[in-house]
Amino acid sequence: MSDELISTQLIDEPSNEVSPMISILSGCFGGIAQVITGQPFDCVKVRLQTAAPGSNSTIMTVVKDIITKEGYSAFYKGTTTPLLGIGACVSVQFGCNEFMKTYFTRLNGKGNPMSLPQYFASGVIAGVANAPLASVIEHVRIRQQINVSSNAPSAIQIMQAIYKNGALGRGILTTSIRDGFGLGCYFSFYEFLVNRQLQKYPDFYQNDRKNLESWKLCTFGGLSGIVLWSFIYPVDIVKSIKQTGPLNVKPEGIIAIFKKLHKQNGTSGFFKGIGPALIRSFPVNAATFLAFEASMRALT
């Protein structure tokens, strides 16, 4: 397949009459759908990632413990923070990605489509730009998810404690690495799938991605999410460990945590809890695409 692709929006390319605010608002709805759909899986993932070394925790034992000791509502611990901040996160991601796509399109000149590496670069920049905000939001959410006490502190109380201990920046570098590489993989793989479909059925789709069925676009998004997490999961574990340590103690560096994980658990230690992440990735990304598309059509 050629590495030159047709410029695209994530769903159906909106008309010139669509306000940028509508695109941003639609992205917010997509992000909210992502949080609601993926929060239970994410809670299990974090519990597995931060389990004590040598523990025999599995997906089923973690799920059973949560239901037995904390109730079903515990699967949605830490939901408030990402729901409140998801609009800003999605705005940064979509805004930066679209800005870079416009930049590369102008750089290439009229009639010269973007290449796969250019789509990857656009995703990388979007991920790095989003990292400072995403890092803080996830820091609060993770601390809520691992707290099994019935008197667990609220999101505001956790945020105050993080700020008081000067830990607002904890995990930003790790999140930048994770989201930069992750969104680069996500967007470029999505473009690969879309372009392959157009090339396979040129007469049916008339080389216009707006003719692709919505369910196929959702499927491509779900598959891209699986690819994303397959590549970035080891970095996500390091981020979780850094952000769940004592707030009044300076965390170890990224390299030190990697070495400790390998010493304690071998290569398998870098993939602890990957099951919920992979299971979560497909429906979460499909829900994001569906919500975005439905919102765009409803608002226009």
Is CATH 2.30.130.60 the right assignment for the domain spanning 20-299? no
* pTM summary value: 0.78
pLDDT of residue 162: 94
The residue among 143, 87, 80, 117 whose CA lies nearest residue 3 is 117
**Residue 129: HSE in the Cβ half-sphere, 13 Å Cα cutoff:** 20
pLDDT of residue 20: 59
Q: Which two tokens stand for residue 42?
A: 């994410």
Alpha carbons 188 and 32: distance in angstroms, whole number: 23
**How is the chain split into domains, by residue range?**
20-299
- What string of pLDDT tens digits covers the 300 residues of the chain? 444 554 444 444 433 444 657 767 777 787 888 888 888 887 888 788 777 776 777 888 888 988 988 888 888 876 776 677 776 787 778 778 778 888 998 899 887 888 999 999 999 999 999 999 999 988 998 888 787 676 778 888 999 999 999 999 999 999 999 999 999 998 899 889 988 898 888 888 877 777 888 888 889 989 999 999 999 999 999 999 999 889 989 989 999 999 998 998 888 889 887 887 888 889 888 887 777 777 777 776
pLDDT of residue 12: 40
